[in-house]
Structure 1
Amino acid sequence: MNRELTVVDVRLTPVLVADPPLLNAQGVHQPYTPRLIVEVVTAGGATGLGETYGDTDYLELARPLAEHLVGRSVTDVNALFGLGLDVDEDRVRGALDAGGLRGVRSADKLRLSVLSAFEVACLDAQGRALGLPVHALLGGRVRDSVEYSAYLFYKWGAHPDGVRGEPDDWGAALDPAGIVAQARLLAERYGFTSFKLKGGVFPPEQEVAAVHALAEAFPGQPLRLDPNGAWSVPTSLKVAAELADVLEYLEDPTLGTPAMAEVAAGSGVPLATNMCVTTFGEIREAFLRDAVQVVLSDHHYWGGLRNTRHLAAICAAFGVGVSMHSNTHLGISLAAMTQVAATVPNLHHACDSHYPWQSEDVLTERIEFRDGRVAVSEQPGLGVELDREELARLHRRWAEDDGRLRERDDAAAMRVAEPGWRTPVMPRW
């Protein structure tokens, strides 16, 4: 073993990052969201970076994994997935994932989400040590930039009175005119040419009107709508019929593979998912039933960048499209997404990214979108550098929190403004 590549230290830093009041089917984003930054340090002085969810369950699982990794080579990535990581199955089973928008959490999903940050950090460290970009470790890039889609949200102008949070200049977006104004601002600032609306917030007819308004404002540009399973099969079919001429795809209109298969069979609109296909074990039923036509991969869900490529190859074999899902994330995750997306030949849809909504980051320089695209870095590793002062500041915010913000809970955040709010029972409409 090359001792220069031996792991001598692993640093775990939970942070709280500002988040605007973005609405979804569960409620509203909290003023701060937890993330976990992973640093893997080698004997040769290379430090690789990774990022994942920062909720307590993820942090508790990351700590023993960090201990297991010390003394191993950063090239021995396969061994990560063979390490015995104990998860309290009874406590995890039935709980919702961070944000509640991936369906029911399982022990395996939790493990993979934690492993993803370590895998990325190991690949970043390898790349830095060898002087190679991560995409070269994955087989090399097939494109020199990756297209991203503007992520539109219904949004309050500010967090509720009495809730501390960071101000933003986006303003409110609660009707079709507000959504179009938000889309224009994202297009002006970042050059996006495709648009995705997070739905499941208002009755379907209001969200249909918003999509039609977008189609009128941006004729011929790809549009998507994602209600996170808030609709019944009949409602999904009705919306699909009304938007058939303007949607690139409809994302998770209803919950579960059987219901998605019904909608797919009764509609000509392609269906995308990051809810009913989030593990390899869920692929068979969904593909054999033709329940989805586009899988939105997420390296956090699937266990890292190599599994993302494996998923893309399976999709190609079945003639299923592939793109990328996004949850609230920082620049380390965006850099990782871009590196792996650059290596996937069958990536034919713009990827999602929350990054424009994040006003804070732990990098020395923010990653730029130009004409709606991110250039694929040729620098060693992920091509990004950690801002240690900013990392320390965001960690202090986490350390000083009384615990209420260390678990992402969009329903709890909504109850601050609407005390009677409960997580909606799906389907909602």
Structure 2
Amino acid sequence: MKISDLEFYAVRLPQRKAEESVCAIILRLVSDTDAEGWGECHLNWLPESLPMWRDYLLPLLAGRSIFRLEDFREIEPLQKIAGLRAGLEMACWDLIGRVANQPLCHLWGGRYREHVPLAIRIPSMSESNLSQWLHTWTEQGFYTQILSLTGDIEKDLSFIHAVKDASADHIQLQLDGRHSYLAKNIEPLLQGIAGIEVDCFIDPFAEEPEACEGYVWQAEEIPLGATISSPGEVVSIALARAADYVVIDVEKTGGLWTAKECAVVAQAAGLEVLLRYPQALGLATAALLQLAGCTRNITMASECQYEQLREDILSERLELLDGALAVPIGPGLGIEVDRGKLEEYWLF
């Protein structure tokens, strides 16, 4: 079965906050048997540029087997643009699953879990609105919440304590340092959060993990997490003993299969896994669920913003139960695209 056609759609979907929206590129891949597969990626492409990208990419893809996913690494633009490679690979996997009439989690080892808990990233907001939103999220079952840090110790400590005060200890807190702190400057922050239960501190250091090898993490009660994009980076983290968790951003790895490889290497190294697909709009959410559904060493909630969307482009909205999404069991990604919704939110 070979690739015969490729379509791009730029879509913008409204979020629950009425003034906000999020954009994505939706891909439709067609085989020489007229079977189709769908993918999603997030690129800074102008909608009017999509026909040009199709004309450029289709000759490079046409005639290639949908089963030879490793061949994508040989195509120059896909080598350079990890998000595009991830979207195309997702569409191929969707096609493969449809041909096999099985959800992807069955093809990748079997469904280990039926529901995947989700984490909410707390956006920047005033402390007066914080309590209301935290209450809303916990009522929906989103008990794991992620707080992005800025590198400003005073500001970060103020926000962390405001979150804990507003939540009355009803949430599980993850801190995302976003590489904001030098190892030599982080002690005042750790002292300021002493006594606050933190599930994981992701990417605290501005330095590479190897550069922090001699640093002794003083907050032994707080597990460290490190975002990675390849199996080799997992090996480096393990050898340096630089983290307890690896955070796999599926799009940054360049695709679902590389993300799965990262999880396998992490399991062999004794590391736990967090999955992240923060801008997932429906298709990518389903892809994350398929991956999480068959990956044993995921022990914390996965991050995506699907439940912050007022609308999606799926024929049926993904099932949410107490802050967790059900792993869809239809073939491929397990979902169907609603062409009417796709046209409604299509930008070009």
Q: Same fold (TM over 0.5)?
A: yes
TM-superposed CA distance for 1:248, in Å, is 0.4
Report the counterpart of residue 239 of structure 1 in structure 2.
189
Q: Conserved in 1, the CA contact under 8 Å of 2:151 and 2:181?
A: no
Report the counterpart of residue 144 of structure 2 in structure 1.
194
Q: For the structure 1 residues 321 and 270, does the alpha-carbon distance in structure 2 shift closer, same or farther, using more than 3 Å as the test?
A: same
Report the counterpart of residue 302 of structure 2 in structure 1.
351
Aligned partner of residue 134 in structure 2, secondary structure: helix
Report the counterpart of residue 205 of structure 1 in structure 2.
157
Q: TM-score scaled by structure 2? A: 0.87
Report the counterpart of residue 203 of structure 2 in structure 1.
252
Q: Conserved in 2, the CA contact under 8 Å of 1:323 and 1:349?
A: yes
Please tell me the root mean square deviation across aligned C-alpha atoms, in Å.
2.8
Q: Conserved in 2, the CA contact under 8 Å of 1:231 and 1:254?
A: yes
Report the counterpart of residue 224 of structure 2 in structure 1.
271
TM-superposed CA distance for 1:346, in Å, is 0.8
Moved more, 65-74 or 260-269: 260-269
The one-letter code matched in structure 2 to 1:265 is W
Q: For the structure 1 residues 264 and 127, does the alpha-carbon distance in structure 2 shift closer, same or farther, using more than 3 Å as the test?
A: farther
Residues 278-305 of structure 1, C-alpha deviations (whole Å, 9 max, x = no match): 3344344433222222111122111212
Correspondence 1:12 to 2:8: yes
Alpha-carbon distance in 2 for matches of 1:323, 1:225: 13
Aligned partner of residue 265 in structure 1, secondary structure: coil
**1:115-264 to 2 correspondences below 5 Å:** 115-154=85-124, 173-175=125-127, 178-188=129-139, 190-200=140-150, 203-213=155-165, 216-218=168-170, 221-245=171-195, 246-258=197-209, 261=213
Q: For the structure 1 residues 133 and 389, does the alpha-carbon distance in structure 2 shift closer, same or farther, using more than 3 Å as the test?
A: same
Correspondence 1:72 to 2:77: no
Residues 180-237 of structure 1, C-alpha deviations (whole Å, 9 max, x = no match): 321221222x32222222332871221231243256241xx42112242233435533
Q: Conserved in 2, the CA contact under 8 Å of 1:44 and 1:129?
A: no
**Equivalent of 2:311 in 360, 369, 372:** 360
The one-letter code matched in structure 2 to 1:272 is G
The one-letter code matched in structure 2 to 1:42 is S
Q: For the structure 1 residues 362 and 247, does the alpha-carbon distance in structure 2 shift closer, same or farther, using more than 3 Å as the test?
A: same
Alpha-carbon distance in 2 for matches of 1:369, 1:51: 21
Q: Conserved in 1, the CA contact under 8 Å of 2:234 and 2:266?
A: no
Aligned partner of residue 268 in structure 2, secondary structure: helix
**Equivalent of 2:243 in 272, 292, 312:** 292
Percent sequence identity over aligned pairs: 24
Report the counterpart of residue 342 of structure 1 in structure 2.
293
The one-letter code matched in structure 1 to 2:42 is Y
Q: For the structure 1 residues 253 and 297, does the alpha-carbon distance in structure 2 shift closer, same or farther, using more than 3 Å as the test?
A: same
Alpha-carbon distance in 1 for matches of 2:224, 2:54: 34
Q: Which runs of 5+ in 1 are unaligned?
A: 23-29, 87-107, 155-172, 400-429
**1:46-65 to 2 correspondences below 5 Å:** 46-56=35-45, 64-65=56-57
TM-superposed CA distance for 1:133, in Å, is 0.7
From the two aligned structures, give the one with the greater strand fraction: 2
Alpha-carbon distance in 1 for matches of 2:167, 2:216: 23
The one-letter code matched in structure 1 to 2:111 is R
Moved more, 243-252 or 255-264: 255-264
- Give the number of aligned pairs: 340
Q: TM-score scaled by structure 1? A: 0.71
Q: Which runs of 5+ in 2 are unaligned?
A: none
Moved more, 368-377 or 75-84: 75-84
Runs of 4+ in structure 1 off by over 6 angstroms are 57-62
